[in-house]
């Protein structure tokens, strides 16, 4: 499992432990390491907005962004197609 750290804090701690020559090598290695594309894990849920007109088709909206859609399976999507929020599963599913 990946663990994201603050590179500046890591460099500070390494400077306290290693000799100057080792420290320079470590700094060079950290500086060459690409940064991770980290994004906050946003969660939401599908809210049943009721039946459409006189049909048996339910409409649903995202609790995070309000994206609204309808269909037999829209509430089974794991992510909102509009904001990317990860949809929580209820206990009874």
Interatomic CA distance for residues 89 and 78, integer angstroms: 9
Asked if residue 53 and residue 24 are part of one domain, the reply reads: no
With respect to residue 75, please indicate whether it lies within any of the assigned structural domains. yes
Asked if residue 52 and residue 30 are part of one domain, the reply reads: no
Each residue's pLDDT tens digit, 16-56: 888 888 888 888 888 887 777 777 788 999 988 887 776 77
Interatomic CA distance for residues 38 and 5, integer angstroms: 11
Interatomic CA distance for residues 93 and 89, integer angstroms: 7
With respect to residue 93, please indicate whether it lies within any of the assigned structural domains. no
Q: What is the pLDDT of residue 73?
A: 76
With respect to residue 83, please indicate whether it lies within any of the assigned structural domains. yes
- pTM, two decimal places: 0.51
Report the number of distinct structural domains present in the chain. 2
Each residue's pLDDT tens digit, 50-71: 877 767 777 889 999 999 887 7
Asked if residue 52 and residue 31 are part of one domain, the reply reads: no
Question: Residue 57 belongs to what domain range?
Answer: 43-87
């Amino acid at each position: 499992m990946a663990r994201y750290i603050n590179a500046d804090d890591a460099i500070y701690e390494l400077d306290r432990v290693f000799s100057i020559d080792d420290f320079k090598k470590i700094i060079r290695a950290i500086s060459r390491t690409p940064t991770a594309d980290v994004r906050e894990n946003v969660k939401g849920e599908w809210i049943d907005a009721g039946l459409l007109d006189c049909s048996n088709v339910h409409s649903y909206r995202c609790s995070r962004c309000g994206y609204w859609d309808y269909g037999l399976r829209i509430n089974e999507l794991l992510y909102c197609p509009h904001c990317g929020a990860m949809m929580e599963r209820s206990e009874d599913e």
